[in-house]
Amino acid sequence: MSFQYVLDDAALVSIREQLVWLEEKAGDEIADFWMDSLEQCLDGLTTHPGRNGFATENGRIVPGVEVPRSGFAHGRKSLGGGCFT
């Protein structure tokens, strides 16, 4: 079974901020590596969403919709969860 992930506006802002920070502090190569790693993590969640348990946001975003923990914490911030449909 395959799932789809949806990132909320706060997650998208956080990702953009992290990319800008990495580009400024470490360069484009590191920022690209970080983004590739994030995309691999999110892609993995589409096939194995229960691998890391539930995020603290579980049940708070949309009642009845499970929010798995991403397990991704590269850089300054951790991406807690995303909404799956």
Pairing of strands 83-84, 5-6: antiparallel
Residue 58 Cα to chain centre, angstroms: 14
Position 16 scores a pLDDT of: 93
pLDDT by residue for the chain (85 residues), tens only, comes to: 677 878 888 889 988 998 999 999 999 998 998 898 888 878 887 887 667 666 666 667 667 766 666 656 544 444 444 443 3
Number of neighbouring beta carbons within 10 Å of residue 55: 21
For the chain, what are the domain ranges? 5-84
Q: Residue 36: enclosing H or E segment and its boundaries? A: helix 28-47
The pLDDT value recorded for residue 77 is 47
* HSE-up of residue 58 (Cα within 13 Å, Cβ side): 12
pLDDT at residue 3, rounded to an integer: 78
Reported pTM: 0.62
